[in-house]
Amino acid sequence: MTREELIGLISADAKFMNERDEIAEYIGMLKAGEGLSETTIRDGYNRFKAEKNAKELADIAVKHQLATAALQTFVDGILDRMIFDGEQLGDLMAPLDLGWKARTQAELSLMEDCVPYLIKRAGGRDISGLSAYEQ
């Protein structure tokens, strides 16, 4: 099967429709001529997605001067409950020790980067309370 056929086959599945670009990126990384089972491809793709998500979150943490683990906990809390909690955002920003005006700006800037990430990770499910930060 060619790479294009494999991408088409996988992305034809409704649950992967929004992941076509990521699937294509992963398939492009596979070695040509290497016989891989469906399980190997699926596991590799899941690992690829997890690594890509972790890097994206780490980049957001660095940009906003936050500990990656703290930001991961914040995001996991939102995705576990599918509810955005403003208090948790305040707790996340507390170590930066900013005044109220600078803190508000920092929170808005962080959420500008986090909202698309959260929406992508939610996989089409609605996150209650997040709409206040959507543009």
Residue 102 within a domain: yes
Averaged over 1-20, what is the pLDDT?
67
Query: Average model confidence (pLDDT) for the chain?
Result: 85
pLDDT band per the 50, 70, 90 thresholds, residue 93: very high
User: Do 54 and 113 fall within a single domain?
Assistant: yes
More confidently predicted of 4 and 100 = 100
26 and 56 share one domain: no
Say yes or no: 26 and 54 in one domain. no
Domain that holds residue 116: 50-132
pLDDT, tens digit (0-9, with 9 covering 90-100), for 15-35: 666 677 787 788 778 777 666
Per-residue confidence (pLDDT) for residue 33, from 0 to 100: 67
Residue 126 has pLDDT above 80, yes or no: yes
Judge if 80 and 54 occupy the same domain. Answer: yes
pLDDT tens digits for range 56-86: 999 999 999 999 999 999 999 999 999 998 8
Domain tally for the chain? Answer: 2
Say whether both 16 and 59 belong to one domain: no
Are 83 and 117 in the same domain? yes
pLDDT at 14 over 60: no
Considering the domain boundaries, does residue 45 fall inside one? no
pTM (two decimals): 0.77
3-state secondary structure the chain: CCHHHHHHHHHCCHHHHHHHHHHHHHHHHCCCCCCCCHHHHHHHHHHHHHHHHHHHHHHHHHHCCCCHHHHHHHHHHHHHHCECCHHHHHHHHHHHCCCHHHHHHHHHHHHHHHHHHHHHHHCCCCCECHHHCCC
**Rounded-to-integer distance, Cα 11 and Cα 37, Å:** 17
43 within domain boundaries: no
Same domain, 18 and 62: no
Q: Do 30 and 58 have their domain in common? A: no
